[in-house]
Copies of this chain bind each other. A is one copy, B any other.
């Protein structure tokens, strides 16, 4: 995945090397960049959906996810910004559970650096992927005879209102390898944008 490779080796976070190895070992599978993101919705209801890994934010461990600003999860995450990713690699039998705080970056962000980051992520997506944000709001009832309209997007145009970037800042990573039967628990001991400090512990699977 774009942004995953070179950046990983430059960073000290010990789980990044394991994740990069898993991404490389499973790169022949389209779904190797898919994972499940769990959050908590209204009334404390767990919510869980498949999303696509869009690489790491530059110079840090934040995991990027593209989403539709009109989907239910945006309001829910703004209300309760905790998430846990479960990323299972089907070929190498490795699982990463990555928990952390999610930042919602839509067009209304007052932070110019975040808006720039959102723009960068927008242009890193394919034009086809971008055109999804011009379609109907997700989850809205449709009549049986509704047809999907052809949507045209100007490849040089910046992010549309419906495009939202999520970043998850990892605080804990629970890694298990079901082939070697090994499990490692990584816990962040210190906050830091450039070189977070992590503690690693070997635990029973």
| Closest chain B CB from A145 CB (angstroms) | 11
Q: Check B82–A44 contact: CB distance below 8 A.
A: yes
Tell me which residues from 51 to 105 in chain A have a Cβ below 8 Å from any Cβ of chain B.
Answer: 80, 82-86, 88, 90, 95, 97, 99
Which residues on the B side are within 8 Å of A83 (C-beta)?
46
* Residue pair A36, B88 in contact (C-beta under 8 Å): yes
Partner of A88 from B31, B46, B141 at Cβ < 8 Å: B31
State A144–B46 Cα separation when bound (angstroms).
36
- Complex CA–CA separation, A119 to B182 (angstroms): 29
Instruction: Report how many residues on chain A are interfacial, defined by Cβ distance under 8 Å.
Output: 46
Main SS at interface, chain A: strand
- Which of A44, A90, A139, A204 neighbours the largest number of chain B CB atoms within 10 Å of its CB? A204
Q: Is the CB of B142 within 8 A of A45?
A: no
Instruction: Return the contact of A36 from the options B80, B86, B185, B205 (Cβ within 8 A).
Output: B86
Contact yes or no, B48 A85, CB < 8 A: yes
Query: From A86, which residue of chain B is reached at the shortest CB distance?
Result: B48
Contact call B142/A88, Cβ cutoff below 8 A: no
User: In this complex, what residue of B is CB-closest to A41?
Assistant: B84
A21 at the interface (CB under 8 A from B): no
* Among B97, B139, B148, B205, contact of A48 (Cβ-Cβ < 8 Å): B97
User: Is A99 in contact with B46, judged by CB distance below 8 angstroms?
Assistant: yes
Interchain CB contact (< 8 A) of A202 among B37, B44, B138, B141: B141
Chain B residues, CB < 8 A from A82: 44-46
Nearest CB on B from A79, distance (A): 11
Leading 7 A-B pairs by shortest Cβ distance: A38-B38, A38-B48, A48-B86, A36-B36, A38-B46, A136-B204, A48-B84
In the complex, the answer to whether B31 meets A48 with C-beta atoms within 8 Å is no
Chain B: minimal CB distance from A165 (Å): 20
